[in-house]
């Protein structure tokens, strides 16, 4: 069951609030309930997440993320923030690429997930949410977020924070799963992700919470705003070269650049002249 979008998130200057999906009434009744439920599920499922992810992606998850970071052009010495890092899969791969002269920070609101990331060898772990990042302006050259965008409260606030913490010229990579456009494709993926994956999770991991999280995972995909809305929100937050590449129409990669000179900087300069 769907209900109205949350109303208790800080409103940007434009007054527009953009949640990635409506409140899903089968799981919670308000934004506070959503926050509590999502955090509880991820904490409870942290020890199962890598297993489920490997099963769900037929073992291709680490390869796919590594390839995406290489295509992004990540190199030695760079500073990368991985938001919604979870068990730190992306952060650990990035650490290997940026090397000792670079910096990788993994951010996540779930302490259970951060503990898993620590045991994977991720060095810099920060509790927090994408909508309000505890970092100074222009702290990073790259920002990644893998499969966590559907859990933020407001896409506008999130993307404005991403632009703020990226240095001018810095780039963004968002990995997401997108609902297939065809009816058949959507039904097939729903059967796999909403029924089969939770069932197998119950059998092999004996966790009701993880099975419920995986059902919820699909529901957030099915009710997510379309890619065009995500692209428009990135542009509205001041990003340029905003693009989406999709593999099989389902595996979306959103990329964008923080301009070398922000529009606001340009306006200020013109005012001063
Ligand atoms: C599906 S996991 C993704 C893990 C990892 N990025 C990957 O590539 O597999 C989603 C993560 O998003 C985190 N999350 C939930 N709400 C968030 C928020 N508002 N900001 C940042 N991360 C959030 C969850 O705690 C969880 O660890």
Query: Which ligand 1 atom is the nearest neighbour of the CA of 39?
Result: 25
Closest residue by CA, ligand 1 atom 16: 151
Say yes or no to pLDDT of 53 above 50: yes
Say yes or no to pLDDT of 271 above 60: no
Could you tell me if the CB of 146 is within 6 A of ligand 1?
Answer: yes
3-state class (DSSP) for residue 139: coil
Number of H helices, E strands in the chain: 10, 9
What's the pLDDT score for residue 200?
87
Could you tell me if the CB of 83 is within 6 A of ligand 1?
Answer: yes
Q: What is the mean pLDDT of residues 96-106?
A: 98
Say yes or no to pLDDT of 8 above 50: no
pTM here? 0.91
pLDDT band at 207 (very low <50, low <70, confident <90, very high): confident
Say yes or no to pLDDT of 7 above 80: no
Say yes or no to pLDDT of 5 above 70: no
Say yes or no to pLDDT of 121 above 80: yes
What CATH homologous superfamily does 31-272 map to? Vaccinia Virus protein VP39 (3.40.50.150)
How far is the centre of ligand 1, averaged over its atoms, from the C-alpha of 151 (Å)? 7
Burial 33-53 (b: 16+ CB within 10 A, else e): ebbebbbebbbbbbbbbbebb
Say yes or no to pLDDT of 4 above 60: no
Tens digit of each residue's pLDDT (9 = 90 or more) over 149-196: 999 999 999 999 999 999 999 999 999 999 999 999 999 999 988 989
Among 39, 50, 148, say which to mutate for ligand 1: greatest number of ligand atoms within 8 Å of CB: 148
**Distance (Å) of CA 158 to CA 25, 59, 77, 126:** 23, 30, 26, 17
User: Could you tell me which of 239, 228, 201, 236 has the C-alpha nearest to residue 217?
Assistant: 201
Closest residue by CA, ligand 1 atom 25: 110
Could you tell me if the CB of 85 is within 6 A of ligand 1?
Answer: yes
- Select the more confidently predicted residue: 118 or 263: 118
Dihedral sign from CA coordinates of 8, 11, 17, 21: negative
Tens digit of each residue's pLDDT (9 = 90 or more) over 81-99: 999 999 999 999 999 999 9
Say yes or no to pLDDT of 40 above 70: yes
Distance CA 117, CA 85 (A): 8
3-state class (DSSP) for residue 172: strand
Domain boundaries, the chain: 31-272
Least confident of 75-89, 167-181, 216-230, 250-264: 250-264
Closest residue by CA, ligand 1 atom 7: 146
Could you tell me if the CB of 42 is within 6 A of ligand 1?
Answer: yes
- Select the more confidently predicted residue: 8 or 177: 177
Burial 145-175 (b: 16+ CB within 10 A, else e): bbbbbbbbbbbbbbbbbbbbbbeeebbbbbb
What percentage of the chain carries pLDDT values higher than 90? Answer: 77
CA-based R_g, the chain, Å: 18
pLDDT band at 36 (very low <50, low <70, confident <90, very high): very high
CB 81 within 8 A of CB 14: no
**Phi and psi (nearest 5°) for 70?**
-65, -45
Could you tell me if the CB of 133 is within 6 A of ligand 1?
Answer: no
Query: Which ligand 1 atom is the nearest neighbour of the CA of 35?
Result: 16
């Amino acid at each position: 069951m769907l209900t109205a979008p949350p109303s208790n998130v800080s409103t940007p200057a434009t007054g527009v609030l953009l949640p990635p999906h409506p409140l899903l009434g089968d799981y919670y009744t308000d934004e506070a309930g959503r926050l509590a439920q999502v955090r509880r599920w991820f904490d409870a499922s942290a020890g199962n997440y890598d297993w489920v992810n490997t099963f769900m992606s037929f073992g291709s998850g680490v390869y796919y993320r590594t390839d995406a970071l290489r295509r992004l052009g990540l190199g030695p010495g760079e500073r990368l923030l991985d938001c919604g890092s979870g068990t730190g899969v992306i952060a650990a791969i990035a650490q290997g690429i940026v090397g000792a002269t670079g910096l990788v920070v993994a951010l996540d609101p779930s302490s259970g997930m951060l503990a898993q990331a620590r045991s994977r060898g991720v060095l810099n772990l920060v509790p927090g949410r994408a909508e309000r990042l505890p970092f100074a302006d222009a702290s990073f050259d790259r920002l990644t977020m893998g499969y966590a965008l559907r859990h933020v409260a407001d896409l506008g606030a999130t993307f404005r924070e991403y632009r703020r913490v990226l240095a001018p010229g810095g780039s963004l990579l968002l990995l997401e799963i997108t609902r297939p456009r065809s009816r058949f494709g959507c039904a097939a993926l729903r059967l796999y992700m909403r029924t089969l994956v939770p069932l197998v999770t119950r059998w092999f991991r004996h966790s009701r919470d993880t099975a419920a999280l995986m059902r919820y995972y699909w529901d957030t995909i099915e009710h997510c705003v379309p890619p065009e809305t995500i692209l428009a929100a990135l542009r509205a937050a001041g990003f340029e070269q905003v693009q989406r590449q999709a593999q099989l129409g389902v595996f979306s990669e959103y990329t964008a650049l923080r301009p070398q000179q922000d529009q606001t900087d340009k306006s200020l300069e013109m005012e001063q002249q």
